[in-house]
Structure 1
Amino acid sequence: MAHKIAILGASGYTGAELVRLIALHPNMEIAALSGERKAGLAMAEVFPHLRHLELPALCRIDEIDFSEIDLCFCALPHKTSQEVIRALPRNMKIVDLSADFRLRDPGDYEKWYGNQHAALEQQDEAVYGLTEFYRDEIRSARLVAGTGCNAATGQYALRPLIAAGVIDLDDIILDLKCAVSGAGRSLRENLLHAELSEGYNAYAIGGTHRHLGEFDQEFSRLAGRPVQVQFTPHLIPANRGILATVYVKGEAQVIHETFAAAYRGEPFVQLLPLGEAPSTHHVRGSNHVHIGVTADRIEGRAIVIAALDNLTKGSSGQALQNANLMLGEDETEGLMMPPLFP
């Protein structure tokens, strides 16, 4: 019998991506879709590319009967998620795609997001959703907090190296490029085609990007001492994809061997041969992350490059991967589609 699924915030990009993925899942049935501003509309009206699917119409959250829902994906804006999840049934599994439960310390949440935490009880039970590193905790979790897409990319490129102590923890530079869908579907002047296309700009410069809270939390926890990376994100005129270029002090061969050991057997992490670099083209529309390692011309330095699709592996695909674990399904179910190319 199929697991009954609700998606809150189905009118956004990550909500639509969840629908696309779950449509291929043999053991999940979408029973409810919410979209507060689009309530009453068919999904085909909001996302015509999904018109071939038989889906419930969008509704308001308070119109959903959660008594028969097995798992709820919450693809709502930050702050809203805490208020909604706090009121959901305690016996229902939840995967949250927002930032509202990613930071374990409520003080850190207030620092990076500017709001007091509104669901402290739920925060205490939340498990961080980077699947490859929290798999056992996710299996038994009721609430899983999905990572930021930028934060996920940087962590795939750095976690094994920090854990193994093969790089200088005080000299890490993370230069990241993210496609425009990472900013969500809300209308903004700077995201208009005429103002975004043919350009390329840095933002949140000097350590103000909110995903730094996740880097600080996770890297420091791994190292057993404070670790801060120098991080600058850039917005690129592409629909999907993240490319992170990380500059570290360490030996490229050792770094490559460390990745090979850490990611051996992982179905969604592909380590390229030493000296090869990944591209966002090669992961588009998939749940895969590609990682490359190259020695720098300066002795004792290396460059690590990671690429993933921000809507899939960086968000909705990661969410489905976690939901599979929570529901006792095969972790890869509904996620083995190859990337789209060209």
Structure 2
Amino acid sequence: MALPQIDSLKTPDASLSRAASPRRGRLPLINLPFVAIIVLLVGYGLLVCWSSIEGSNDTTYSFTRQLIFAAVGAVVMMLMWRVDYQRFANAVMPLFIVNIALILSPHIPGLGTDAGMGAQSWLKLGIQVQPGEFAKITIILMDAALVARYGGRLDDLREYLKVVFFILVPFLAIMTQPDLGTGLVYLAIGAMALVAGGARSKYLLITLALGIAAIAAVFAIDQLIYNSTGEYKLLKQYQRNRLLVFLDQDGSNTSSSGYNLQQAKIAIGSGGLFGKGLLNATQSGHGFLPEAQTDFIFCVLAEQFGFVGSMA
């Protein structure tokens, strides 16, 4: 399929761009309530990270490193605060190229490394870096720049298909690693962009139906391949397990692929209304909840601070 001509996409409204742009040569006005929310969220997150690490006595993770990342993030935020985000409105193609370069960079010989699940999704740069995570930011910018060109009315089928094409390419690129979890996040970002961009409901429903049909077809074809060769080719076993567990949560065996999900439910449920208290998360503290400091950090929050803390 040939790459669509980006010049044929509609351009943003010029008057809107001028009105939204900050005054040149001056710092933009600081939205103090917005900054307060950021500080509270980051502080809450750091508290939960600290409690999950201290409560489990796991030396694999470092809270000091989390603090360093938070400080670096604050510096980057202040630098980006001076950037007029409207400049990204005409940078769809550069953002598209950056996305693909980030996602495919783990395939560079000597730099890419296995993530432990058969996915080539990390870079060895002194420390291990997952470029697909950084691509989430540029994908948000790219998708926003794409749909902003239509002024909230993405009702032309040809233009809709162009936007969908640009959304699908990063997903297909991440599947070369393959990293299904990150790929689904990319699709979720794209879906939200389409909704916010004013895509017609009919187009969205048809796209959703085609997506479900594609998943079913992949499973069916993979099963036929397995029946003939005794091996799944299209999806790795852990990818199949994640999808199957999602569809059959109660029927999953606690000793196999459903273990993580069931332990997560136990952790969240045991927190009750107000939680067990700081450093009192038994599921993660006793090692029942896997990857508590990363993948299941919300379960630690729910167990310690309960429903009220989760809602906060």
Q: Which has the higher helix share?
A: 2
Range into which the TM-score falls when normalised by the shorter chain: under 0.3
**Which is higher, the Rg of structure 1 or of structure 2?**
2
The TM-score with structure 2 as length reference comes to 0.27
Q: Which has the higher strand share?
A: 1
The TM-score with structure 1 as length reference comes to 0.25
